[in-house]
Amino acid sequence: MASFSVRFLGCKVSHVDAHAVRERLLAGGHEERDGAADIAVVNTCCVTHEAVAKSRKEAARAARTHRRVYVTGCGANLAGDAFSGLPDNVVVVARRSEETPEFVAGDVGAIGCVQADARLDRVRAFVKVQDGCSFSCRFCVIPLVRGASRSRSAGAVLGEIRRRVREGHREVVLTGINLGCYRDRAAGYRLARLVREAGAIPGLERLRLSSIEINHVDEELVDALRETPTVSRHLHVPLQSGDDGVLQAMGRRYSTATYLRRLEPLREDFNLTSDVIVGFPTEDERAFENTLKVVAEAGLTKVHVFPYSPRPGTGTAAEDPVPPQVKRERSARLRAASHAACLAHWRSKVGRGDVVLVDRPGRGYGDDYSPWLVPAAAPVGELIGVRGASVSEEGILAA
Ligand code: SF4
């Protein structure tokens, strides 16, 4: 039996993949530890240059405190030498996410005789329903490292959600690289049907989608979100740019008018969040100002801002004309606008009731995934009724 620790960098899919390796090692009788251990697994990210640098740093740090380090995930599958030159105890696992847990467990070796306590996060479970992407956004390295879109069977997904609910999870987040591409053709499922059936699983309190492309926000899905009582009033819809010329240069296959029109039915009562890339090669000041306008017009609250960095093997790998200080300045302006929108959204909840899933001492998320600050004694893992008293820089203060 070996002791191990698992870390992930990046998105919720990376989280799920790291969790799959962790569960496989636990099932093999290995023991999870917080500090130094025999084995470290670092599930990496490569979505920006900075993400790769952080992943490499994490692997190097782990190599000092662990006998062997497995570098897995998107960064490990990136062409080139992102992890070369690290100590000999670092093993780069350039494999698809479906194969990685078995490979790592096999390499770690001998199966122990006791089943370790899973110590699972019992509040929120991320359930991967789909992986890969068959789109070809010109800046994006994800299709190169994760391959084409593929889906799990609906039976496997629904079975996993039932298991998570039995384990005590209150919330499930359906997760994928391009979630709207979800298909189980043999059983006749698209995402909308999966949402309806997942949301109806007895004992599940809350269901959320991790992220969805605007092209997949159609009437069928909106109806499923509205008509499934457990579905959280939150949707994360990447915008990437609010300028039609930039969107076209990115190969995003929608216009700002489409983005706004498709979100219109949700604007009133959903908390809409997004991702934006700042400093894309064709983004000038006017194009950036268009992004600020669309962010406001769409009613977006939290915007995750990604300063553009060219990724190897992509359509824009050789293009990066926007100076770093311009990217920094635009990023700061967009983050400030997003923070102001969050504060305004939170203020609208003062004096109103909500149900908060407490996920850490003193903190949790309301029905639309707005952050709440609750009494420190509120039990972690429980849903509690609250009323908004005031707003701080970090969320809504419960009365
Ligand atoms: S939709 Fe575009 S940005 Fe998203 S993973 Fe696919 S190629 Fe990348």
The reply to whether domains 120-232 and 236-347 share a CATH topology is yes
Q: Tell me if 143 CB under 6 Å of ligand 1.
A: yes
At 119 the pLDDT is: 39
Domain 236-347: assigned CATH number = 3.30.750.200
Cβ count within 10 A of residue 119: 9
Instruction: At 218, list the tokens.
Output: 């159609």
Q: Tell me if 212 CB under 6 Å of ligand 1.
A: no
Fold of 3-108: Rossmann fold (3.40.50)
Q: Tell me if 41 CB under 6 Å of ligand 1.
A: no
pLDDT confidence tier of residue 110, bands split at 50, 70 and 90: very low
Q: Tell me if 177 CB under 6 Å of ligand 1.
A: yes
Q: Crossing angle of helices 324-347/285-297, nearest 10°?
A: 10
Measure 139 CA to ligand 1 centroid, in angstroms: 9
Q: Tell me if 391 CB under 6 Å of ligand 1.
A: no
What is the residue with the minimal CA distance to atom 4 of ligand 1?
178
Share of the chain above pLDDT 90, in %: 85
Q: Cα–Cα–Cα angle for 333, 337, 339, nearest 5°? A: 115
pLDDT of 228 > 70? The answer is: yes
At 121 the pLDDT is: 61
Domain ranges of the chain: 3-108, 120-232, 236-347, 353-398
Tens digits of residue pLDDT in 185-203:
999 999 999 999 999 999 9
Q: Tell me if 250 CB under 6 Å of ligand 1.
A: no
At 118 the pLDDT is: 38
pLDDT of 117 > 60? The answer is: no
Measure 37 CA to ligand 1 centroid, in angstroms: 36
What H or E segment, with its residue span, contains residue 390?
strand 383-392
Q: Tell me if 103 CB under 6 Å of ligand 1.
A: no
| pLDDT, averaged across the chain | 93
Tens digits of residue pLDDT in 77-87:
886 678 888 98
pLDDT of 164 > 80? The answer is: yes
Measure 292 CA to ligand 1 centroid, in angstroms: 22
Tens digits of residue pLDDT in 231-246:
999 999 999 999 999 9
- The residue among 216, 190, 98 whose CA lies nearest residue 147 is 98
At 80 the pLDDT is: 67
| Top mutation candidate among 134, 137, 276 for ligand 1, by most atoms within 8 Å of CB | 137
pLDDT confidence tier of residue 120, bands split at 50, 70 and 90: very low
pLDDT of 74 > 80? The answer is: yes
What are the backbone angles phi and psi of residue 387, rounded to the nearest 5°? -135, 135
Among the atoms of ligand 1, which is closest to the Cα of residue 143? Answer: 7
Give the C-alpha distances (Å, rounded to integers) separating 61 from 55, 81, 343: 10, 18, 37
At 363 the pLDDT is: 96
Q: Tell me if 140 CB under 6 Å of ligand 1.
A: yes
Among the atoms of ligand 1, which is closest to the Cα of residue 213? Answer: 1
At 111 the pLDDT is: 36
At 106 the pLDDT is: 87
Tens digits of residue pLDDT in 316-348:
999 999 999 999 999 999 999 999 999 999 999
CA 56 to centroid of chain Cα atoms: 20
CB 240 within 8 A of CB 277: yes
Give the C-alpha distances (Å, rounded to integers) separating 112 from 21, 109, 256, 379: 16, 9, 55, 35
Tens digits of residue pLDDT in 35-59:
778 999 999 999 888 999 999 999 9
Q: What is the pTM of this model?
A: 0.88
Domain 120-232: assigned CATH number = 3.30.750.210
**Dist. CA 287–CA 16, nearest whole Å:** 35
CB 46 within 8 A of CB 140: no
Q: Tell me if 142 CB under 6 Å of ligand 1.
A: yes
| Top mutation candidate among 11, 12, 133 for ligand 1, by most atoms within 8 Å of CB | 133
Tens digits of residue pLDDT in 277-297:
999 999 999 999 999 999 999
